[in-house]
Amino acid sequence: MADNSSNALPANYAGTVRVTVRERDYYVHMSAPMPMMSLDDLEKALAVNRQMIKDSQEKMREMFLLEAFEYAAPWAVDYESPTQNAIQAHLNISMLIPLINLKGGKATYEKPETLNVQTRLELMRNTAEKAVFMDHHMNKHNTVNAAFGITLVVLLLLSLTLI
């Protein structure tokens, strides 16, 4: 069983970082950006890492859809790649924002970026699963069709009572 007592803390972001997500350990090697990087390069790197988080979230959603509703074989469901990418991107963002601000930029943290990396990844997995269930539920019970049907019934009842 994984030991959750040694979560990745900001002081540990250089070197190899161990992050436990759903009782599985992920190891990510971190190194600080080059000190001679320009402000534009740092801002581009921040944008790339934020996009990587979004892509990982979408990939986690696709994997859960495969696992839960398409009954894919376990070896076809890949949570490891998007999880590893999201960990790497989250830790990079945590280093890039202070560097951008030190060089005179105006980078700010978005809400999920303030969470510790383990909490954020757990949240991403939970969000992916809930999104799949909501999409599946909404497709099964189309609310537009239900609203249209209820409207027709109400109109029919009103017309019958007025006649």
Tens place of pLDDT per residue across the chain (163 aa): 444 455 544 444 568 888 999 889 999 888 877 878 899 999 999 999 999 999 999 999 999 988 888 787 888 888 899 999 999 999 999 999 999 999 999 999 999 999 999 999 999 999 988 888 887 766 666 666 667 777 877 877 777 777 7
pLDDT at 9: 46
Q: Of the candidates 141, 133, 138, which has an alpha carbon nearest to the alpha carbon of residue 61? A: 133
Per-residue tokens: 158: 């009103």
3-state SS string over 74-114? HHHCCCHHHHHHHHHHHHHHHHHHHHHHHCCCCCCCCHHHH
98 vs 41: CA distance, rounded Å: 14
pLDDT at 139: 67
Please tell me the pTM assigned to this model: 0.74
pLDDT at 150: 78
pLDDT at 3: 46
